């Protein structure tokens, strides 16, 4: 499947939030319980509601999924996903180094504080190993473009900014 990324348009806009505890060198991840990617480990996030900014969505979704409020998030990247079944998603990636509240399990997610040196790529989406560590550890900014057939990544391209 060949994609013309110059003319590509998303059907769904969404966000991911990664909260980092710098002192412990850990990131707050989730094991997703339902929806796209159920069973996988990821950051909290979800679809942007009408009238909502990307940042507002990332904070709201983190509150809904974990009971935690990310403070002063910084935009670090964009993920462009094309699925063979036609799903087209644009996902903004946010990082925060401060938060309020303690993570709790919800019907959507199980919280997982994870060492930045031991990210569980074998339980994550296949694209994550191409951008996540560099973004979390080195705080690099990027645009990633990925083609998937269900869970299988068919192609990837990451541009570091």
Instruction: With a cut of 90, say whether residue 4 has pLDDT above it.
Output: yes
CA distances for 110 relative to 34, 46, 50, angstroms: 11, 15, 27
Q: What is the pLDDT of residues 48-80, one digit of tens each?
A: 999 999 999 999 999 999 999 999 999 999 999
Domain hosting 37: range is: 12-160
CB 161 within 8 A of CB 141: yes
Domain-embedded: residue 22:
yes
CB 79 within 8 A of CB 158: no
pLDDT of residue 58: 98
Confidence of residue 1 (pLDDT cuts 50, 70, 90): confident
- CATH of residue 118's domain is 3.90.79.10
Residue 75: how many other CB atoms lie within 10 Å: 14
Q: Answer whether 0.95 is exceeded by the pTM.
A: yes
Percent of the chain with pLDDT over 90: 98
pLDDT of residue 125: 98
How many domains, the chain? 1
Domain-embedded: residue 75:
yes
Secondary structure of residue 121 in the 3-state scheme: helix
User: What is the rounded CA–CA span in Å between residue 133 and residue 140?
Assistant: 9
15 beta partners: 46, 92
Q: Give the closest residue to 27 by CA, choosing from 114, 139, 122.
A: 114
Residue 108: how many other CB atoms lie within 10 Å: 17
Domain-embedded: residue 128:
yes
Instruction: With a cut of 90, say whether residue 2 has pLDDT above it.
Output: no
CA distances for 127 relative to 66, 95, 149, angstroms: 23, 18, 12
């Amino acid at each position: 499947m060949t994609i013309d990324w110059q003319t590509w348009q998303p059907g769904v806009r969404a966000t991911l939030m990664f909260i980092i505890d710098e002192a412990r060198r850990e990131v707050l991840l989730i094991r997703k319980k339902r929806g796209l990617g159920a069973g996988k480990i990821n950051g909290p996030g979800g679809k942007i509601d009408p009238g909502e900014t990307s940042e507002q969505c990332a904070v709201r979704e983190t509150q809904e999924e974990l009971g935690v409020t990310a403070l002063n998030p910084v935009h670090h990247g964009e993920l462009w996903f094309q699925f063979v079944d036609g799903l087209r998603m644009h996902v903004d990636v946010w990082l925060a180094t401060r938060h309020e509240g303690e993570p709790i399990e919800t019907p959507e997610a199980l919280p997982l504080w994870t060492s930045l040196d031991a990210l569980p790529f074998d339980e994550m989406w296949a694209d994550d190993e191409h951008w996540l560590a560099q973004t979390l550890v080195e705080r690099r900014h990027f645009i990633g473009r990925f083609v998937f057939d269900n869970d299988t990544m068919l192609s990837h391209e990451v541009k570091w900014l």
